[in-house]
Chain A
Amino acid sequence: MRLFQALALSVALGAVALSALALGAGSAAADGPQFDKAADLAALDACLDANFEDRRACIRSIMHPCVDSTPAPDDGMMAWKELDMICADREASAWDAMLNRDYKALRAKVDEWNPGTGDSLRDAQRAWLAFYEKECAWPLDFLRGNNAHHADIACRIEMLAERAIDLHEWLEFLE
């Protein structure tokens, strides 16, 4: 019975991607210009390697060049905001991809020498995901400036990046 319950739980959890963006943060990237997700992830990896002492320096390293390299829209402020959102979503997607990749690798790694540790990591990641969803729903006008739409994606980028860097550093440490 216990084994059955454990199996059912792991199947259920396995089906739920521990990806944050899978839960619906921003879809603008899917509708906007195409970009190379693998290249963005590789760029983040390179940035983390180059900024060993201050990994946070890599936050927005996809978004800023994305905004700068796109031709200026000629139809006013709305277009600028859309461009910002497309580039912000791209940044969030890249961190999300890193988080998922490193989470899977770390989980496999920790189970190698201490069975059960992978489960505690999974529980931690589920708790992080719940925290992430609640945290980015803080009253935005009080805490995060007036543009709620931008503030929301800013919160998501920040939290995804922080968690991705956490797991990335654990993986580096254990490898």
Chain B
Amino acid sequence: MTRTLLAALPLAALLLAAPLAAPARADDTAVLNACIEEAIGHAEEPQSCIGAVSGPCGEALPSDANYPDYARCETREAEAWDALLNADWKLLLEELDEEDIELVREAQRAWIAFRDADCLAVTMMAHPVRGGLWGAGCERDRTAIRALQIREMLGDRGQ
């Protein structure tokens, strides 16, 4: 599927935010974890933590910063959510027996495929000017929401 998409839409593929392969900065992940804990402590929705890294990152950019600069801030936060998700994911698997692990893995694989396809569609919808920025924002949002879902399933066992 990915190959078909890339063949059909080389421009969009180039505009897509970099895959979430880069290691997250440890301090970014710490910012998100602290924000989630504080939100829950105040009985607030942890979704309010989306933007906790990319917001200050964007504000620190020089006044002549362009869309790709802002997109890099979004991607930086997406990587931090991804790191948080992966850490919680390992804890979640420890709670499950083999049969359940397979179910959960399939769901997670399907989620990854959905995130990638959805964020490509978003990139296309915003093409050409804001494609990269919106695609990166989509990856940040989708990854954050998933990370928070997994965190919620873990309950008090998270982090």
Q: B-contacting residues of A (Cβ < 8 Å)?
A: 110, 114, 116-117, 119-121, 123-124, 126-128, 130-131, 133-135, 137-139, 142-143, 170, 174
Contacts and interface: CB of A to CB of B under 8 A. Distances in A.
Contact count band on B: 20 to 34
Given A116-B9, A120-B9, A135 B111 contact: yes
Given A124-B118, A142-B96, 8 more contacts: A114-B125, A120-B117, A127-B114, A131-B107, A134-B103, A134-B106, A134-B110, A139-B99
A134 B125 contact: no
A131 B103 contact: no
A-B pairs, 5 with minimum CB distance: A127-B117, A139-B100, A124-B121, A131-B114, A131-B110
B121 A117 contact: yes
A119 B8 contact: yes
B12 interface: yes
Nearest to B118: A124
Given A114-B124, A170-B125, A127 B113 contact: yes
Contact of B127 (A114, A127, A128, A135): A114
22 contacts: A110-B125, A114-B124, A116-B9, A117-B127, A120-B9, A120-B117, A120-B120, A120-B121, A120-B124, A123-B5, A123-B117, A127-B113, A127-B116, A127-B117, A131-B113, A134-B103, A135-B107, A137-B103, A137-B107, A139-B100, A139-B104, A142-B96
Interface in B1-41: 1, 5, 8-9, 12
Contacts of A137: 103, 106-107
Nearest to B97: A139
Contacts of B12: 116, 120
Contacts of B103: 134, 137-139
A67 B127 CA distance: 45
Interface in B64-101: 95-96, 99-100
A123 B96 contact: no
Interface of B: 1, 5, 8-9, 12, 95-96, 99-100, 103-104, 106-107, 109-111, 113-114, 116-118, 120-121, 124-125, 127, 153
A138 B120 contact: no
Nearest to A110: B125
Nearest to A129: B114
A128 B153 contact: no
Contacts of B110: 127, 130-131, 133-135
A75 to B, nearest CB: 36
Given A120-B9, A135-B110, A137-B103, A127 B125 contact: no
B114 to A, nearest CB: 4
A97 B1 CA distance: 27
